[in-house]
Amino acid sequence: MASAAARVARQAFTSRLYITVLVAIALGTAVGLAFPKTGESLQPLGDTFIAMIRMLIGPVVFCTIVTGIASAGHLTSVGRIGIKALVYFEVVTTLALIVGLVAMDLVGPGRGIHAHPSDLHLTGSAKGYVSAAGNEHWYDFLVNIVPKTVVSAFVEGNVLQVLFVAVLFAIAVKLLGERGAPIIGAVERVGEVFFGIVKMVMYFSPIGAFGAMAYAVGKFGGRTLSSLGAFIGLFWAVGILFMLIVFGAVARLCGLRILKLYAYFKDELLITLGTANYEAVMPRLIEKLERLGCPKPIVSLVVPSGYAFNGDGVCLYLGFASLFIAQAFGVDLSLWQQIGLLAVFLITSKGSAGVAGSGFIILAATLSTTGAVPVVGIMLILGIDRFLSTMRGLVSLGGQILGSLVVSRWEGVLDVPHARAELNGEATVALPEKAPVGAAA
């Protein structure tokens, strides 16, 4: 009996990724707390795993977008799907900003700090964020969509630029008609190769999660959590409530239950929890959404677009961080000033995915533009950003999970009974191929 239990436990540990990642996160946390210096030295493990995933994001996005547009029927249906996806992303990111501002107004964890701008000085990476922010304009995300060269979009890892190149390429190939079919087939096979590489890389995710958590807790753990724990705790509490209430309501509109969805995507959520990077799970997210019943043309368009335009977690963070800094300096922002911040954030937050330190750059740029809150205040939260970025990633991943489901439901092509059966582990046969979205248009 004991040997059978041990065998089951061993099989679960080796075959179920979420168990392995969960154990790795717990071990990383323990190492960081017990041996801070050792935990801090393990940073390369997490960084290397994220780097391996990021090197694949560009090719995966390109192949996914090209094959998605090719299978989406008429180009008018491609535009319709894209517009619906952007509407969804815009509505939810606006809600996230509002929730962040309201939560900070009600609780006000920064009011007891009584900081003064002259007491703080920009150092280290904060200087780089402010320097980058000084060159930012509200229209930069539009200008930066166009890469310097076709190749540079992939070299620099800018998701928005890769998206732009992929859409142009796909439309041009589609206009070739039957002559473009071999090209689409070749891109699809290349995409399958990159998805295969992703599967191999994902075997290293527990090691990456272990290293990332050990580093974060070892470097920032006790000191950071004791000094700014209220802010971190509030941000996590509101983030969890946002994922349950707001995303729960969206899931119900799709005819599904949010907790069932989170259980289905538990591997992806735990990897994001361990690495604070939700880009790492994009290929697996695409595969699971298709198994759930979202048509490939929709998933192939919505998911990559979401990594460029879906900033739910970033927007929640921006509302929190801007008011925390204002409260710490004793700056009482009026309702209209907060509405002004919200309007600017809605513009500057677009296209931030794939840019290192994007949350800080957007925050610094907006504070510099409005002038209502001293930009040097970002130093107050620089040390805890690793703990905030984890929840940012989880919230954004929640928005990504629902994006394709919402658009599929909106298009009337989501097979809800199949999705429920899949979530319950009752789907015994593969989902039949649907006609291309918009084929009859």
Report whether pLDDT(185) > 60.
yes
Length of the chain: 441
Tens of pLDDT, residues 318-377: 888 888 888 877 778 778 878 877 777 776 666 554 444 556 666 776 676 666 677 777
Q: Which amino acid is at 249?
A: A
Query: Exposed/middle/buried for 280, CB within 10 Å: 0-12, 13-18, 19+?
Result: buried
Mean pLDDT on 422-428: 77
Q: Residue 110 above 90 pLDDT? A: no
pLDDT band for position 252 (cuts 50, 70, 90): very high
Instruction: Decide if 4 is inside a domain.
Output: no
With cut-offs at 50, 70 and 90, classify the pLDDT of residue 106.
Answer: confident
The total domain count for the chain is: 1
pLDDT above 90 for 237: yes
Written as one letter, the residue type at 367 is: L
Do the Cβ atoms of 316 and 399 come closer than 8 Å?
no
Q: 366, 344 in Cβ contact below 8 A?
A: yes
Residue with structure tokens 């840019």?
A: 355
Give the chain's count of helices (H) and strands (E).
22, 0
Contact 338, 398 (CB under 8 A): no
Percent of all residues in the chain with a pLDDT value above 70, rounded to a whole number: 74
- pLDDT at position 20 is 83
Considering the entire predicted model, what is its pTM? Answer: 0.71
pLDDT at position 365 is: 64
pLDDT at 137: 54
In-domain check, residue 431: no
Question: How sure is the predictor about 71, in pLDDT bands with cuts at 50, 70 and 90?
Answer: low
Whole-number average pLDDT of the chain: 76
pLDDT per residue as tens digits for the range 60-69: 778 877 777 7
Could you please report the per-residue DSSP string of 143-176?
A: HTTS-SSHHHHHHTT-HHHHHHHHHHHHHHHHHT
Q: Is 208 exposed, middle or buried (0-12, 13-18, 19+ CB in 10 A)?
A: buried
Residue 440 lies in a domain: no
pLDDT score for 427: 61
The pLDDT of residue 392 is above 80: yes
CB 403 within 8 A of CB 289: no
Query: Which CATH number fits the domain that encloses residue 329?
Result: 1.10.3860.10
The per-residue pLDDT for 39 is: 85
Pair of tokens at residue 184: 């689409």
Up-side HSE of residue 157: CA atoms within 13 Å toward CB? Answer: 13
* Domain of 288, in residue numbers: 15-423
- As given in the structure block, the two tokens for residue 86 are 């952007």
Residues 309 and 368: their CA atoms lie apart, in Å, by 23
Q: What are phi and psi of 329, to 5 degrees?
A: -90, 0
Q: Give the Å distances, CA to CA, from 415 to 193, 408, 429.
A: 29, 9, 14
Does 274 fall in a domain? yes
Residue 352 domain-assigned? yes
Q: Stretch 291-312: mean pLDDT, rounded?
A: 82
Phi, psi of 155 (to 5 degrees): -65, -40
Angle 385-411/205-241 helices, nearest 10 degrees?
80
- Answer yes or no: is 435 within a domain: no
Q: 126 pLDDT band (50/70/90 cuts)?
A: very low
Name the 3-class secondary structure at 262. helix
* Tokens describing residue 90: 């815009």
Q: Is residue 434 part of a domain?
A: no
Does 407 reside within a domain?
A: yes
- pLDDT of 290 strictly over 60: yes
Q: Residue 45 pLDDT > 50, yes or no?
A: yes
Q: Which of 205-209, 217-221, 247-251, 325-329 has the lowest mean pLDDT?
A: 217-221
Q: Which of 135-139, 146-150, 346-350, 385-389 has the lowest mean pLDDT?
A: 135-139
Residue 339: the pLDDT is: 81
